Chains A and B, each alone.
Chain A
């Protein structure tokens, strides 16, 4: 316990002086965070219960929006589509990701260390860029994969289809499942499996009766988070589903807002439906992993038992290789090629290479500001989120404040809320807010921090939990004040974890599209928004060049993280 929360104390002279200087910022920080999270939800509820447009005076509560949403088949279809896409891509991602994890952690497949890195690449690429690349790979009559299918007598594959939405999401969310399952596999005490063998179970029985039940919570937990993420995905269904008029809730909300006149109230109603689905998923996930999720973080890290696959190891290798090919190599190669030729015509001659698109980007009116906006927002939002996360964790883990429970509860929302929904709620909030934030870059900054604050808190928490309390108490016992405790022990020990959390957030922010697409205003575009808008114009060369710039930015930061700061992002 720190000195802070001792009730009713009388202090000696020196102590009184110090306590007077000690202004407690924690309650203020908590209040601001809670307001930033709860206000958009409040306005969403308000919007769903009224029919007055944004900015109009209040004209009574009504359930009409809900009646419309329930009665019109288009909305129901969007809801069912969302659930279908969410379930299908979650199950596929789980099958892919869990098998990848098992092969890489528990078998003697050659080159596992490099394969592990390759498997994580789609995570850094983002589903949106993946969807862009796959549209190019499967362009009708021109996409290299369709050319290949044609050459071997197979029918062409249409990128604009439900199947491809599910496929792309499954590939780009499989690394999430991979992270969960591989860390669970690494944290199983091998003695548990050995005990299974000693009780007369064969290898298959040990896998089914011992290993599977042990990692089941991790798999389930990864599945639920993947479901929440895929059901709330905007970029992929927007890119691949708009043409065949296959709408999910996120894209439908986007449509409602871009119609004339905008249907804010209906969008808010759909947003609440999505929020309810997502909150249920996250609540279920936290129930299932209660008291378990953090144990694995600081786990001992057992040396896992490696299964000798024999000649099957090459099959396993091919499987992982195919995943890396489909998830990273082909998409990246395609984007690189398209960015380097004046226009893509399915001819692959080095003589066509040119830097035209890059020159165009550099001279373009939008690209440099968007690059600057992206980097500014990513740096500022990561920094603010990490600092807030430190303060909130201090409160959660180092004080006995009665506000800890409500804070934990409020923090569930950012983890659950689809960022599209947050975007809509924030629009409403900051139009009414008495501060001139609407239509500026600051609304994006607030949106970024709010949307990922829970992720930041969790990442920082795992580092916090690794600091033994007695290390801090030992400073107190040799006469150090609370500030001294932080300076001498907490901060230095937290630093590597904070760098890791910062970098992870930076990568997420550089790729962010779902919130930005609702909150940007002309002049405040970030790179993802610019790409999305260029896609509307069909400027594939420009998009690809921009995607390459984004990938280089992320790649540079990932390299910096692992080479300079020795951060293992796979564990963050």
Chain B
């Protein structure tokens, strides 16, 4: 049952197409992540749902109520949409205390004093900021401010919460912790949310559904793990992490049997067999699916080490494979000397065929 539905949204700023036919549908209590590089339209989509931006055409519906319909000329103003929003810059009002920040929406709603106090207290406790009502935003750390911003959005019990890159101003450690906290909170409170981020790992932790946007269009959507495992093209594959990509040679490859050959002459077997694909294709495998393997077998290659870096939990090797540079990520410390020869293998199920 669709709870939030966005259909055929378009928005141009002059000649620039910010969003070009974006649709999404989301069930109640589900979390959708909009990901993509900056300028891909994810924030414009989010702000259109919020009502802070008016799309040119399209339709937005939430819980059976039309919020926007370009054709019928319906535009519900943002303050009447019953949505919560968590801003990238936190957007806490610097001249109001934490308590007042969370209470304003309730006051506007006309809630009684005692009820407000109780709601503010409980929602601050929920985000781990209990007892901080009297403090001012400037006296809080970035992480604390983000919690208050979340509390402010939760306090009104909105139908849906919109997150606009909420963690991008935090340092790495805090960001990684907050991901899980937000995820737990969303699941616990059964909140429907749209979450914009440019960090694909963040999206994978937080979202049930992921939409990859590129230049205003949807590139691919689905469960985060599925997209990671089966990116459709170069853009998605590269956006979701480093990928070794070799140009496929059509003449010498057989897509039906899965025996592939790159233009540089590397022969690979894949279990990704779909003969219908045409156009420029790529052979892809992730750096972490490369194994060091002395025994010759299918997809086993002799390579030459170009460089090796120890990254802490992993070792990154840059290898020369018949004239193509590929990256391998090995667990732990497995440093190799440059110019050393190394035999590697990639399992056929880890080899994919992508569109350019």
Residues of A near any B CB (own CB < 8 A): 1, 3, 6-12, 14-15, 468, 470-471, 473-481, 484, 488-489, 492-493
Contacts and interface: CB of A to CB of B under 8 A. Distances in A.
B108 A484 contact: yes
Nearest to A470: B91
Contact of B79 (A10, A471, A479): A479
A9 B85 CA distance: 23
B79 A474 contact: no
A8 B72 CA distance: 9
Contact of A3 (B53, B78, B93, B109): B78
Contacts of B92: 474
B196 to A, nearest CB: 13
Interface in B81-99: 82-85, 87-89, 91-95
Nearest to A485: B79
A474 B87 contact: yes
Contacts of B108: 478-480, 484
A75 B189 CA distance: 81
A474 B75 contact: no
Given A468-B91, A480-B105, 4 more contacts: A6-B54, A478-B105, A479-B79, A492-B95
Contact of B83 (A6, A477, A488): A477
Given A10-B74, A493-B95, A476 B79 contact: yes
Given A9-B74, A479-B105, A470 B79 contact: no
Contacts of B53: 1
A480 B75 contact: no
Given A3-B78, A9-B73, A10-B72, A489 B93 contact: yes
A187 B69 CA distance: 47
Interface string B142-184: 0000000000110010000000000000000000000000000
Contact of B104 (A10, A14, A470, A478): A478
Contacts of B77: 3, 6, 11, 15, 476
Contact of A479 (B89, B93, B109): B109
A480 B73 contact: no
A183 to B, nearest CB: 23
B274 to A, nearest CB: 45
B76 interface: yes
B83 A475 contact: no
A477 B78 contact: yes
Contacts of B54: 1, 6-7
A480 B79 contact: yes
A56 to B, nearest CB: 51
B50 interface: yes
A473 B47 CA distance: 10
Contacts of A7: 54
B290 to A, nearest CB: 41
Contact of B89 (A3, A468, A478): A468
27 contacts: A1-B53, A1-B54, A6-B75, A6-B77, A7-B54, A9-B73, A9-B75, A11-B76, A12-B76, A468-B91, A470-B87, A470-B91, A471-B91, A473-B52, A473-B87, A474-B85, A474-B93, A476-B51, A477-B50, A477-B52, A477-B78, A479-B79, A479-B108, A480-B108, A481-B79, A488-B93, A492-B95
B52 A1 contact: yes
A475 B104 contact: yes
B134 interface: no
Nearest to B106: A478
Nearest to B69: A10
A141 B314 CA distance: 91
A55 to B, nearest CB: 50
Interface centre among A1, A3, A15, A478 (most CB of B within 10 A): A478
Nearest to A471: B91
B80 interface: yes
Contacts of B73: 8-10
Contacts of B109: 479
The 10 closest A-B pairs by CB, nearest first: A478-B105, A470-B91, A474-B91, A477-B85, A9-B75, A3-B77, A470-B87, A8-B73, A476-B78, A479-B108
Contact of B80 (A6, A475, A479): A479
A11 B75 CA distance: 7
A476 B152 CA distance: 13
A182 to B, nearest CB: 27
A398 to B, nearest CB: 12
A483 B87 CA distance: 21
A510 to B, nearest CB: 31
Contacts of B52: 1, 473, 476-477
A470 B92 CA distance: 9
Nearest to B101: A474
Nearest to A475: B104
Given A8-B73, A479-B109, A470 B80 contact: no
Contacts of B91: 468, 470-471, 473-474
A572 B79 CA distance: 35
Contacts of B80: 12, 14-15, 479
Nearest to A7: B54
B18 to A, nearest CB: 13
Given A3-B77, A477-B85, A484-B108, A471 B50 contact: no
Contacts of B88: 470
Contacts of B75: 6, 9-10
Contacts of B50: 473, 477
Contacts of A476: 51-52, 77-79
Contacts of A473: 50, 52, 78, 85, 87, 91
Interface string B233-263: 0000000000000000000000000000000
A43 B108 CA distance: 51
Nearest to B85: A477
Given A473-B91, A477-B84, A478-B156, A488 B104 contact: yes
A471 B152 CA distance: 13
Contacts of A468: 89, 91
